[in-house]
Amino acid sequence: MSLLVIGTVAFDAIETPFGKTDKIVGGAATYASLAASYFYDKVKIVAVVGDDFPAESIANFGSHHIDTEGLQVKAGEKSFFWSGKYHNDMNSRDTLITELNVLADFDPIIPANYQDCEYLMLGNLTPQVQQTVIKRLKNRPKLIVMDTMNFWMDIAMDDLLETIKLVDVLTINDAEARQLSGEYSLAKAANKILTMGPKYLIIKKGEHGALLFGEGKIFSAPALPLEEVFDPTGAGDTFAGGFIGYMAKAGTVNFDNMKNAIIYGSALASFCVEKFGTEKIKNLSAGEVAARVQQFVNLTKFEIITA
Amino acid sequence: MSLLVIGTVAFDAIETPFGKTDKIVGGAATYASLAASYFYDKVKIVAVVGDDFPAESIANFGSHHIDTEGLQVKAGEKSFFWSGKYHNDMNSRDTLITELNVLADFDPIIPANYQDCEYLMLGNLTPQVQQTVIKRLKNRPKLIVMDTMNFWMDIAMDDLLETIKLVDVLTINDAEARQLSGEYSLAKAANKILTMGPKYLIIKKGEHGALLFGEGKIFSAPALPLEEVFDPTGAGDTFAGGFIGYMAKAGTVNFDNMKNAIIYGSALASFCVEKFGTEKIKNLSAGEVAARVQQFVNLTKFEIITA
């Protein structure tokens, strides 16, 4: 039994209205596996880095009990590098640099002892690589969650459509839900996307929370109104990782557990944006996570007494 | 004991991607008083129309037990008229025609038997007229709710700031909260606005729900994900009217009652957008309202069992 996370492990250089970083460790699999590790202790990653990737950053996964046997280190090559600058509203950003490096020909090799994977998180990556991972697993996982983005809809829609057929939960943002479905109404978009393969759809709305669709039901999760969003990088990956980590802990795939998983994922994402990169989500205590979850409970709880 | 609603009673001509109307009855006081009437049976309005306003439309207020003694009918004058066209996303619109007519020199006269007003809804109107109403009430109402919009922030900010000092609850949308406070973060914006007079602030976020700030607490209310938004006109007024109508019914001003009031207001607003103008909210049954409120309960309910 384990939770497998695939995605990028990479360097980011980030500029926000609050400051800028040099190259820091980022990547979808980094954020997602760290987040998942708060709820589940058998998280394993498949990813690729160059030999420029610092050994202490790999060791940091270990301190979260994340198995890095599937993290390929390519000698003489460089890690994936992304650099971006956020606008003042923090909701939009410009990509300044994208260097694929090791990612250009990433072949996701699954170590033999990863074959016990019951929960699979397909972090944002080429849909074809995501699909390859599913096919290389001898037993279909109990739950496959896939994150993706508009970039793949623009350049690899056919591959994307093939891949989403194979997953249980798709997580995208509202603009992407509209792009994928061709529907403006999110309710209509969700109905359409749920005919494309996934049994559940999570629409991430950033500062407006998230919507879960599935089993003919809808759940609306709030976002915590934050005084300051310091750096949104990785928030979506952290959300997805927290989501699947909680699902693995819960052990049963159903709508009620997914509702709670969304709250836990949202709580971790709300920490993520408070500092640059993984700085905040690297060192959270169980008490901090529980207190943040309680804030989400307080934020939405109401008691209607029907007359 | 009564609930006084002031605002426009007017004609609208609306064009949406789904069709267009001739002149139909609209106006903030129309929507708000109709909405309030579902929860409270002593709703009274102060507004002004011309003699072009149809008698049967005035009678329709009566069928909702809304007192129209304070509705001035100006002989030889025309009612306020607004015409607008919504864009395809239904979130933005162009104003095509604004004819102030009777509204140009509206003097809000309070009939003697309106002085029992305990709940005051200041619908969207010149801040100066809103303020005049407060001053003409001999006893300060138990709860004053004020709705306003960016238009008054653009042309009458000083009057607006004077007026909001006098109210308990301010309802504005997210862009307006940012404009009024000069803060992008809604949490910061709310903190700032709560130093300007109101004890509570409701930020309306349309399809993303609403936020209530006050007593050092925050409540996040969802919006129902609708397949179709047919006509958003009046949704904010309906929300505000439902809110204060529920508060009048509840009888005690506190955060918990306001949370429920927001859910009831949101439920009525979700009906409002399903048809043109007041068509849908004119004839709702108690059962329909209760069923819609239950949908809001189902939409947000989750159960975190802390380990």
Q: Which pLDDT score, from 0 to 100, does residue A301 have? A: 93
Chain A residues in contact with B290 (beta carbon < 8 A): 306
Residue B305 forms part of a structural domain: no
What whole-number distance in Å separates Cα of residue A55 and Cα of residue A77? 15
pLDDT in tens, A13-57: 999 988 899 999 999 999 999 999 999 999 999 999 999 999 999
Asked if A226 and B88 come within 8 Å (Cβ–Cβ), the reply is no
Task: Collect the ranges in chain B with pLDDT lower than 50.
Answer: 307
The residue among A88 and B138 whose pLDDT is bigger is: B138
Residue A290 pLDDT > 60, yes or no? yes
Chain A, nearest residue to B217 by Cα: A299
pLDDT at A131: 98
For A118, phi then psi, to 5°, come to -105, -25
Q: Do residues B272 and B30 touch, judged by C-beta distance below 8 A?
A: no
Averaged pLDDT, A122-147 = 98
**Structure confidence at residue B306 (pLDDT):** 59
**Residue range A234-254, pLDDT digits in tens:** 999 999 999 999 999 999 999
Separation CA B44–CA B94 (nearest Å)? 32
Integer Cα distance of A44 and A66 in angstroms: 5
Which residues 6+ apart lie within 8 Å of B287 measured at CB?
Answer: none
In a domain, A134, yes or no: yes
The span from the CA of A275 to the CA of B45, in Å, is 51
pLDDT greater than 90 at residue A92 = no
Q: Let me know if residue A137 belongs to a domain.
A: yes
Average pLDDT of A91-115? 94
Domains held by chain A: number: 1
Q: Tell me which chain A residue has its CA closest to the CA of residue B184.
A: A89
pLDDT on residue A89: 75
> Which one-letter amino acid corresponds to residue B221?
A
- Confidence check: pLDDT of A306 > 70: no
Q: Distance between CA A21 and CA A136 in Å, rounded? A: 37
Residue A305 within any structural domain of the chain: no
**What's the pLDDT score for residue A142?**
98
A57 secondary structure, DSSP code? H
Residues of chain B with Cβ-Cβ distance to A226 below 8 Å are 185, 187
Confidence check: pLDDT of A307 > 60: no
CB proximity under 8 Å: B 284-303 to A: 290, 293, 297-300, 302-303
Q: Does any domain span residue B269? A: yes
CATH assignment of the domain containing B185: 3.40.1190.20
Which candidate from A89, A187, A211 shows the least CB-CB separation from B227?
Answer: A187
Instruction: Verify whether the Cβ–Cβ distance B302 to A263 is below 8 Å.
Output: yes
Name the residue facing B304 among A184, A190, A263 (closest C-beta): A263
Task: Confirm if B94 and B119 have CB atoms less than 8 A apart.
Answer: no
B266 φ/ψ angles, rounded to the nearest 5 degrees: -65, -40
Average pLDDT, chain A: 96
Domain around A66: 2-300
Distances from the Cα of A289 to the Cα of A105, A264, A281, B38, B306, angstroms: 38, 8, 10, 42, 11
Mean pLDDT of A97-113: 96
